[in-house]
Amino acid sequence: MTINNERDLECMKRAGQVVAHTLRMLQSAAQPGVTPAELDRMAGELFARHGAFSAPRAEYGAPVNVFISVNDDIVHGLPTHRPLAAGDVVCLDVTPNVGGYVADAALTVAVPPVSPVASRLIACAEAAFAQAMKVARAGRPLNGIGRAIETEVRRRGFTLLRELQGHGVGRAIHEKPDVPNFYHPALKKPLHEGLVIAVEPMVSSGRSGRVRTLRDGWTLSTTDGGMAAHFEHTVMITRGAPLILTA
């Protein structure tokens, strides 16, 4: 989606606010003994209060309101009835449709007490996103985002999950362009003002960097059992710093 009028901007901001509110609630509620299924129910109730609904459910038939991925599960995790336990690493991925506009964001939290590796892993995903924001400018090449992410992940000693990537978003969950999390030399096309994309580094404490789909047909997991962290925001490209719509 490209935003070129005030109405689209305000509608995307509203969708982003629902995402941010949901993530804050889920982050606070992700405590020992709480199940991902309970978190999913809470998200559905919040969506309903804001006139929103699950975009993955509407577009792809996902049997959930939000995706919740635990430990070695990376993304698209189906919320289970297994209570969260101390030390679990939990990715919360929220993508509502609000009045025909879709915003997408994710963060990863660790259930206390947090291990040093989990803490560094989560910080790595967030830092990679922050580095990407420094180069996500109108007129700069799309592949600069992937270069910045890849460089930061490598610097911090973790493994980039290269099979997974960001994407355009706005009227649907997945729109053009694809936004790889690594440097792709062919993707030289410049970013343009108003372009809305989801930038989402996904990293692992393992070494293989490979991804597998579990039997539920949805959950993507690391192949080597490495913990995964995911950090994502929906952003609008400008000539200066991107506007983070889901902040």
93 is in an annotated binding site: yes
**Amino acid 34: pLDDT:** 98
| Contact criterion met (CB below 8 Å) for 160 and 121 | no
104 is in an annotated binding site: yes
145-174 residue pLDDT tens: 999 999 999 999 999 999 999 999 999 999
200 is in an annotated binding site: yes
| CA dist., res. 18 & res. 23, Å (int) | 9
76 is in an annotated binding site: yes
Which domains occur in the chain, in start order? 6-244 (3.90.230.10)
- Give the three-state DSSP class for 189: coil
pLDDT band at 3 (very low <50, low <70, confident <90, very high): very high
Q: How far is CA 7 from the centre of its chain?
A: 25
91-127 residue pLDDT tens: 999 999 999 999 999 999 999 999 999 999 999 999 9
**Amino acid 217: pLDDT:** 98
**Amino acid 56: pLDDT:** 98
23-76 residue pLDDT tens: 999 999 999 999 999 999 999 999 999 999 999 999 999 999 999 999 999 999
Share of the chain above pLDDT 90, in %: 100
233 is in an annotated binding site: no
**Amino acid 200: pLDDT:** 98
150 is in an annotated binding site: no
CA dist 158 to 71, 105, 113, 118, 201, Å?
15, 22, 21, 11, 12
**Counts for the chain of helices (H) and strands (E), in that order:** 5, 17
